[in-house]
Every structure is written in C-alpha cells, then in structure tokens.
Amino acid sequence: MESRGGFRDGLPPRQLGRLSVRDLPLVTIRDLAVSFDGAPALNGISLNIGMGEALGMVGESGCGKSVTWLAALGLLPAKARVLGSVKLAGQELVGARPETLDKVRGGRVAMIFQDPASSLNPVHRIGRQIEEALRLHRNLRGAAARAEAKRLLDQVGIPDAGRRLDAFPHELSGGQNQRVMIAIALAGQPELLVADEPTTALDVTIQAQILELLQEIRRDTGMALVLISHDLGVVAETCERVCVMYAGRIVEEAPVARLFEGPAHPYAQGLLNALPPITGPRRPLAAIPGNVPEPWNMPRGCAFGPRCAHHHAACDAGIPAARQLGAGHRAACLLAAQPAQVVMEHA
Ligand SMILES: Nc1ncnc2c1ncn2[C@@H]1O[C@H](COP(=O)(O)OP(=O)(O)O)[C@@H](O)[C@H]1O
Ligand SMILES: [Mg+2]
C-alpha cells in the first residue's frame, strides 16, 4: 500500500486490521456546529473514530447525521456556517484549502449515499467511472487502471466483472449499482468510508448482502466505517459503537451491546422500542409520538422534551450536558444517572 502519512504509514491494511489500534483516533471531531441562515442544524458535536473502527450514527430524518459528514468533508453549500474542528489523523479539515479537501475526499475518506443511481453518471460505462477514480486518486491509467477496475468490481461481488465494466448504470440493478459505488469508494484506498443510508433504497435481502459486503471489506482492508442509518437494527448488526443523534446533537454514545442492554436517553430507548423483536411474538411497534423539531424552531432546553415521557420542569432550563455512564458510554439527559427500565425483547 502506498504511504499517505498519518498513522497508517508503512502498515499494510491487513496487518492493521489485526493490530489493536482502534484507540488511535483517525478522526477527531470537536464542537462541530453548523447553521443555515442563522438556524442551528448541528451543535456541540464531539466524536472520535478509531482506525479501523465501525461507528454507527442513528436518529430520525433531520437529526443532523448527513450534515455532520458533509460539514466534515467541506461539502455543504457556501451559505452554511461551520464552526469547530474536524481532524483527520491530526490534519484540520474545517476551513482547509479546496486542494486539501479534494485530496481527502475520495482519497483518504470516501463517501457513499443512499441512491447510487444519482451518484453514478448515467451516460458513462461503469468501468470508465471506476477508472476515473483510480486516475484521480492513484494515478493509474490505461491497462493498469482497467485491470484494477476489474479487480475492484470482483471484490465488491459483481459477477463476470470483466464484461460488466462495459455496462451502463441503467443495465444494473439498484443493489449492483450500490456495489459499483462501493468499488469507486474503494478505488482511492480510503482509511475511512462514510456510508450514508447505503441500503435504505434497497430491499431487505439486498440490504443484508450490502452490509455483509461492507463487513468483508473492513476485514480485508482495515478501513474504518461510519454507517449512517435511521435504522438502529442496521447499525447494530454492522457496528461496534453507536452514536444516537437528535435535533443536531449527540444525545447518547455507547458500545452497541451496552446501548441495547441499557439505553440511558429516552430517545435511544424510544428507538430501541421501535425495533421489531427478533424472537417472540410480534407486537405493534411503539413509534415515538411527535416529530424532530426544525432548526429554526427548537424548543427551550432539551430538544427532546416535548416528545419525552419523562419530561419535567428542569428539562426546560437548559441543554443537558453529556454525562459519562461508563467506559465509552455517555448520554445527555438529566435522568441519565438512573437509566429507565425498558423491555428489550430484541436484544
Ligand atoms: N443545505 C441545507 N440548507 C438548509 N438546511 C439544511 C441543509 N441541509 C440540511 N439542512 C437541515 O439540517 C438538519 C439536519 O439535516 P440532515 O443532516 O440532512 O439530517 P439527517 O441526515 O439526520 O436526516 C435538518 O433540519 C435539515 O433540514
Ligand atoms: Mg441524511
């Protein structure tokens, strides 16, 4: 593997996967805040992602999951005001020069989105699109690029890869196009892949296959993964640690097993209760009543207050600070010291 600086210098990815280096931060986010026209979409986001780690980010639509990573990679429109710090192996990305960000995006950090059809160019053959990424990020051209594009298509599980290089996106299924997007993401040999709702547009069987593929790639390359999903079930299967977002803030962060055993924030409890049980009788899903507030219409104090069954007067006094509840477990709720009992049939 070529050297790119940072912690990965000189270590082939396979070896990296076996070393216990997850405590080394690959990405360090501190007090990241984003506002659009004065309305706060994101506030006080602080987060570490270790090398090779898989972190899930969950929360309902509009909670700030995508904006976190669009801000981190300099992909928000100019009207967005971004404050705070995002460091990739020590290098500051907030306010970085466009040339720096161009190198990071698709190179050290790749991103895939929900709808592969809108990310792929419909008029170019998929081989050409993978080769373009190889030229940009690894300076490969001609036969070498062609051979590597074929290897990547193979790696992401597209049958008959050599022939498929000449297909147009519309000739492939949604699941196959998502595999092509993953191949393009891998073309730059990223240290981190941010997958934003990568399986939301796919049916359940294909969804499971894509998640399995992401796991396989992590095992093979030692790449870190941020998996964004509104579905806690998807994150629980794929990630080691999960970060629950609500109304532009992180309300709880915990190792996956710990979150399932004892979610501390009523919002996390609500998300867990809304999961279908894996075993036992089917029961109606307990959706959380109400909606995520809009950035320009935030309630006073805890933003979850109006939807919270445990809401009391003190919750309106201010935004609750995050409390440490154990190793790697924190929650921003005044009740967090005494996690409420919830029925965990699916855990
Ligand atoms: N380009 C934008 N202009 C204005 N508001 C935006 C823009 N992008 C996102 N937002 C707002 O920021 C908030 C967080 O959005 P987002 O990160 O997309 O949510 P999620 O990914 O969790 O569904 C939402 O209230 C959304 O309306
Ligand atoms: Mg989103």
The response to whether residue 222 sits with its C-beta less than 6 Å from ligand 1 reads no
Give the number of the ligand closest to the Cα of residue 200. Answer: 2
- Residues contacting 297, CB < 8 A, separation 6+: none
pLDDT in tens, 98-112: 999 999 998 999 999
Check if 38 has its Cβ closer than 6 Å to any atom of ligand 1: no
Question: Could you tell me if 73 and 105 are in contact, meaning their C-beta atoms sit under 8 angstroms apart?
Answer: yes
Average pLDDT of the residues in 127-155: 96
Is the per-residue pLDDT at 340 higher than 90?
no
Q: Is 77 in the pocket of ligand 1 (CB under 6 A)?
A: yes
When the pLDDT of each residue in the chain is averaged and rounded to a whole number, the result is 89
Residue with tokens 């296959």: 209
End-to-end alpha carbon distance in the chain? 40
pLDDT for 336: 84
What's the confidence (pLDDT) of residue 284?
Answer: 64
Query: Is the distance from CB of 192 to CB of 223 less than 8 angstroms?
Result: yes
- The finding on whether 64 has its CB within 6 A of some atom of ligand 1 is yes
Instruction: State how far the Cα of 117 lies from the Cα of 175, in Å rounded to an integer.
Output: 10
The overall longest dimension of the chain from CA atoms, in Å, is: 68
Ligand 2 centre distance from Cα of residue 318 (Å)? 27
**Whether residue 61 has its Cβ less than 6 Å from ligand 1:** yes
Q: Which of 182-191, 277-286, 291-300 has the lowest mean pLDDT?
A: 277-286
Q: Where are the alpha helices (DSSP H) in 158-293?
A: 161-164, 174-187, 204-221, 232-238, 256-261, 266-273
Read off φ and ψ for residue 30, nearest 5 degrees: -130, 120
Task: Give the distance (Å) from ligand 2 centre to CA of residue 212.
Answer: 21
Take residue 4 and report the two structure tokens written for it.
């790119």
Q: Please tell me if the CB atom of residue 232 comes closer than 6 angstroms to any atom of ligand 1.
A: no
**How many beta carbons lie within 10 A of that of residue 266, not counting itself?**
27
The candidate with the shortest Cα–Cα distance to 86, out of 69, 102, 111, is 69
Considering every ligand atom, which ligand is closest to the CA of 61?
1
According to the model, what pLDDT value does residue 8 have?
38
Higher pLDDT, 9 or 293: 293
Q: 20-29, 94-103, 252-261, 327-336: which range is least confident on average? A: 20-29
Instruction: For the chain, count helices (H), then strands (E).
Output: 12, 12
Nearest residue (CA) to ligand 1, atom 16: 64
Q: Given ligand 1 and candidates 67, 69, 232, 294, which is best to mutate, with the most ligand atoms within 8 Å of its CB?
A: 67
Got the DSSP string for 31-86? EEEEEETTEEEEEEEEEEEETT-EEEEE-STTSSHHHHHHHHTT-S-TTEEEEEEE
User: What are the tens digits of pLDDT across the range 43-77?
Assistant: 999 999 999 999 999 999 999 999 999 999 999 99
- Does the predicted TM-score (pTM) go above 0.95? no
Residue 24: per-residue pLDDT = 76
Atom 4 of ligand 1, residue of closest alpha carbon: 36
Residue 116: predicted pLDDT? 84
Number of other CB atoms surrounding residue 246 within 10 Å: 27
pLDDT at site 283: 64
| Tens digits of residue pLDDT in 298-323 | 999 999 999 999 999 999 999 999 99
Over residues 188-224, the pLDDT tens digits come to 999 999 999 999 889 888 999 999 999 999 999 999 9
For atom 2 of ligand 1, the residue with the nearest CA is: 36
CA 295 – ligand 1 centroid, Å:
9
**Calpha distance 224→217 (Å, rounded):** 10
Confidence of residue 277 (pLDDT cuts 50, 70, 90): confident
Q: How confident is the model at residue 23 (pLDDT cuts 50, 70, 90)?
A: low
- Tell me if 286 sits within 8 A of 272, measured CB to CB: no
Neighbours of ion ligand 2 (CB under 5 A): 66
Residue 154 has pLDDT above 70, yes or no: yes
Residues 42, 248 contacting (CB under 8 angstroms)? yes
Q: Is the CB of 114 under 6 A from ligand 1?
A: no
315 dihedral zone (left: phi>0; alpha: psi -120 to 50; beta): alpha
